[in-house]
Amino acid sequence: MSRRPVEEAKLHRPGSRAKDRRPSDRRPSDRRKGHENQLTLLALPNQSPLIHFRFIFRAGSALDLKGREGCAALCAAMLVRGGSALRSAGQLSEALFPLGAHITEQVDKEMTAISGSTHRDNLPHFYAILREMLLQPGWRQDDFLRLREELQNTLQQALLHNDEELARLVLQKEIFAGRPYAHPPLGTLKGLASLKLPDVQDFYRQHFNRAGLTLGLTGDLPEGFAQQVLQDFRALPEGRSASLVLRPPLRRLQNRVTLVPRDTEGVTISMGLPCNVTRGHRDFPALYLATQAFGAHRSSLGLLFQKLREQRGLTYGAYSYLEYFPRPMSQLAPEPNLVRQQQLFELWVRPVAWENCHFALRLAWRELRLLVEQGLSEDCFYITQQHLLGTIPQLVATNDQALGAAIDARFYGLPGHDYAEQLRRAVASLTRSAVNRAVARHLRADRLQVVLVGPRLDELRTRLLADAPSPILYDSPKPSFVLEEDKIVAGWNLSLEPNQVRIESVAELFA
Amino acid sequence: MPFAFREVEFANGLRLLLLPTNFPGLVSLYSLVSVGSRHERASTRGFAHLFEHCLFRGSASFPGRTWDDALIATGALANAFTEDDYTAFHSTFPKEALPRILQLEADRFQYPAFTEEDYFSELEAIASEYRHQSADPLRRIQTALRKAAFPSHPYRYSPLSPPQELHHLQGSRSLANRFYAQHYRPERTTLFLIGDLEGQPVAEWVEESWSNWRRGRSLPEAPLPETTPPNASQPNATLPEPTPSDAAQLQPSHTTLPSAAGAPPWLAVGFRAPGLLTHGQIRNGQSHHAALAASWEEVAALDLLTVIGFGEGSPLHQELVMERHLADSLYSSYERHADSFLFTIYVRVKREDAIAPVEQALLSALLQLRTQPVTPSQLTRSLMHLRYRFSLRLDSNQHIGRTLADFVGITGTPAAINQLFAAYARVTPAKLQAVVRRYLSPAARLVVVLRALPAAEPSL
């Protein structure tokens, strides 16, 4: 489907200067200053009858006030599912129903994305609903109570019924302790309970304004439609620059292990360390390649997958990430518009039988150590590079994904709108030594935060502190090279001290 | 459907479906095999899913990792899933890689070469796959519903069996080989290609690398029990209410599953509903199945009912979610299956004390649908909803493949989707009422509640 030229307009604040930005590894907070003072329209017209909207507000959960965690999430829910000043939530839902369309909110640390798709037959109806939701919120107390309770339930369900998500939430919480990224984007139970309607209205007034708003559109847009959208959203107050300057995560000097007891059938492992190589950083393509080679999401490409699953059948999967990927259990690729200034390098080992979890932890950790110390082999580098040249275009297989990626590229300070093509070219020109240098520069296998969620963790703690041997138990024969490596792994010392291994309950962690 | 497809059937029974789209540069392949947990028996439980895993572990010309490495080097993103009725292997790749992909696919299907070690590693990986899904509330509810609905039909078991039920696979390689030889055959396989196919001699490539694959011996399968949902033997349209004697035979079931204190409860109400198999083209080797009395109109009416009766646009949603604040979400599903499966209504209830009023409201809504026809406007709006919702899913080759996989995997042809949409237009308020009476009888409801405490109040 051919894409017509990009239409773009910026609404400048009086007195502001909007300079073209160059890709660089400048500090993210520096980059933001060029972007936040302008209302931006990013239209990618094409001939598709499916029209996608992505409206991005710089209003994420990192802006939640202390004790009011969940405000960003509840504000977005109120806009999208809380009715407008003109129509109740039920009436809006009824109006949207025959269009077969959905409008959804995605709240992350630094942005709220309101997105939706419609067939062009229904564009006027759809857009009228979307505009009404965002520009004329309903703010009814009844809807507020309904949605607050819904978010509390959603958070409870994530904490109590999804160990893998829980492990990843704990990892973020521990690494960003004391920082605005620490709590889940949904908030905390206490924070949600303390929120009142005026808190959410204040949040809207303060952060849902023209400053930093990006209006993304793609599809067969009628003549003048994009300009009309831009004009309509000028109705929002200009707003002040919502500059979010983040302090780096607390510097840890040793490994830390957090054990979260749960009565489940296996042990989930998440581990990671802060890593600020975001898409605008010059080492991003190299580290992206390394992360894929090490643990591509749900793919047999990754070394972790090969070692833990293919060779040993220890787990369904083991993966690594350079960018936050919410709800990876059910998706093959992350949603766009999760731009963060600070990222984690993250390892995720899906549930392992308790008997083998000590071994699995040692194996994954040791593989990370080998990656950092030795880098990728020539074969591994080459096949990963070949693979990525084919898969990177799939990051933008849908027009909606292309729009999302183009919006994110702007936030990361990249020029142009074809992020995938830029990344593909950068990956094509990488060398193995460049990748391994980037790995050595940014990754490490010490000062890690490790989280384990599962049963019998008191017992595991004792074993961890004793560095007890953890021979793996197989139900079937394994090749000799695997058994030889197992002997090394089973006795590999983690050298953890008692103060480094803590047991924490879910209730304490997300009170 | 806004795309036309072409079909080629080869001498060995293998079918090729080509669906060209205007998404440039990429192609998706869905290799669909008519084998799922429905084809398993007690001695072969878990095989369909296990073979799905094993088929990534090498072939005769590409042994061990070399198969996977060759696939990875093409730039393909590949995965697979096993359903009750079929297994799908899918990949999306640059169009230039198509000949290579077809070659790799042909080799693993005809000459799989996984080792004993691979077999057992995958068996252990499946145990982990089960572990990570076992805490999921919806997975637990569905497991309980299957148990209640299917005393002996293989739908009683999901394709993902708990590890303790897979011990029999440990020492049964010969049984595994027989299962494989029976089901992985050309006449049970469809290659479904979607994407930038212009100017590519795909049929020739397939002929070249797949024509040596021999048809299987047509082993008769034992007929399956319970393929007919309650009431399905009765004529359609103007069904009487179930008589007392019918009701006596159709006992409602009520299952309570324990949940963590503090987590929101779930209520699910399921009903047996007709399958698709007799509606579409019957695939080779499957014609022995008992025919259902349902028609495409009934399938279409049940689809419409998921949104009219129990979806976001329904009066019940308005009542439970918006007005009474008893539930966070309400939705229903009528999954595509070959044989009679389930129509299920799911409610995430806000609080423990709301479970009983939610179930009561749900039964009242059912009664209303039985006794009062929906308005023509409700029907028109729901039809629009289904059409546009479907069109919005067709935004990439991969998504088109996934959206149509159920239809192709079960009926053998994407044309089934056109038959279904034609049937939507023929559904009337009276027909909708008829399917409610026929399939959604309160007397036959299967209730599953997930809650922190055992049910204190009696089931309604």
- ipTM for the predicted complex: 0.91
Residue of A100, A101, A310 with shortest CB distance to B386: A100
pLDDT over 90 (residue B110): yes
User: A48 and B395 in contact by Cβ < 8 A?
Assistant: yes
Phi then psi dihedrals of residue B81, to 5 deg? -150, 150
Residue A193: which of A148, A136, A260, A250 has the closest Cα?
A148
| Both structure tokens of A150 | 């819904």
Specify the pLDDT at position B209.
94
| Chosen from A81, A161, A319 to mutate, greatest number of chain B CBs within 10 A | A161
User: B131 and A266 in contact by Cβ < 8 A?
Assistant: yes
Residue given tokens 């289904």 in the structure block = B386
Q: Kindly report the nearest CA distance between residue B251 and chain A, in angstroms.
A: 31
What distance, in Å, lies between the first and last C-alpha atoms of chain B? 43
Alpha-carbon span A127 to A105, nearest angstrom: 15
Low-confidence winner among A88-92, B8-12, B105-109, B216-220 (lowest mean pLDDT): B216-220
Specify the pLDDT at position A128.
98
pLDDT band at A507; cut points 50, 70, 90: confident
Specify the pLDDT at position B294.
55
* pTM of structure: 0.92
Residues A185, A110 contacting (CB under 8 angstroms): no
Query: Which 8-state DSSP code applies to residue A251?
Result: P
pLDDT band at A477; cut points 50, 70, 90: confident
Specify the pLDDT at position B247.
38
pLDDT over 60 (residue B248): no
The pLDDT tens digits of the residues spanning B135-147 come to: 889 999 999 999 9
User: B132 and A90 in contact by Cβ < 8 A?
Assistant: no
Rounded mean pLDDT of B263-291?
Answer: 67
Low-confidence winner among A498-502, B275-279, B316-320 (lowest mean pLDDT): B275-279
User: A383 and B387 in contact by Cβ < 8 A?
Assistant: no
Specify the pLDDT at position B132.
80
Residues B143, B257 contacting (CB under 8 angstroms): no
User: B128 and A121 in contact by Cβ < 8 A?
Assistant: no
Specify the pLDDT at position A508.
84
Specify the pLDDT at position A281.
97
Specify the pLDDT at position A2.
42
The pLDDT tens digits of the residues spanning A354-401 come to: 999 999 999 999 999 999 999 999 999 999 999 999 999 999 999 999
pLDDT over 70 (residue A7): no
Closest residue of chain B to A264, computed from CA coordinates: B135
pLDDT band at A474; cut points 50, 70, 90: confident
Instruction: Label residue A507 exposed, middle or buried (CB < 10 Å: 0-12, 13-18, 19+).
Output: exposed
Query: Which 8-state DSSP code applies to residue A121?
Result: G
| Chosen from A80, A150, A350 to mutate, greatest number of chain B CBs within 10 A | A150
| % of chain B with per-residue pLDDT over 70 | 86
Residue of A150, A397, A479 with shortest CB distance to B26: A397
User: A313 and B97 in contact by Cβ < 8 A?
Assistant: no
pLDDT over 60 (residue B285): no
pLDDT over 50 (residue B101): yes
The pLDDT tens digits of the residues spanning B53-84 come to: 999 999 999 999 999 999 999 999 999 999 99
The pLDDT tens digits of the residues spanning B330-382 come to: 999 999 999 899 999 999 999 999 999 999 999 999 999 999 999 999 999 99
pLDDT over 70 (residue A15): no
Closest residue of chain A to B135, computed from CA coordinates: A161
- Touching check for B125 and chain A: CB below 8 Å? yes
User: A351 and B392 in contact by Cβ < 8 A?
Assistant: no
The pLDDT tens digits of the residues spanning B391-431 come to: 999 999 999 999 999 999 998 888 888 889 999 999 999 99
pLDDT band at B260; cut points 50, 70, 90: confident
| % of chain A with per-residue pLDDT over 70 | 92
Please report residues of B whose CB lies closer than 8 A to that of A98.
Answer: 313, 380-382, 384-385, 388
Residues A406, A42 contacting (CB under 8 angstroms): yes
User: B25 and A157 in contact by Cβ < 8 A?
Assistant: no
Specify the pLDDT at position A27.
41
Q: Would you call A150 helix, strand, or coil by DSSP? A: helix
Q: Given the DSSP bridges, would you call strands B26-33 and A38-45 parallel, antiparallel or unpaired?
A: unpaired
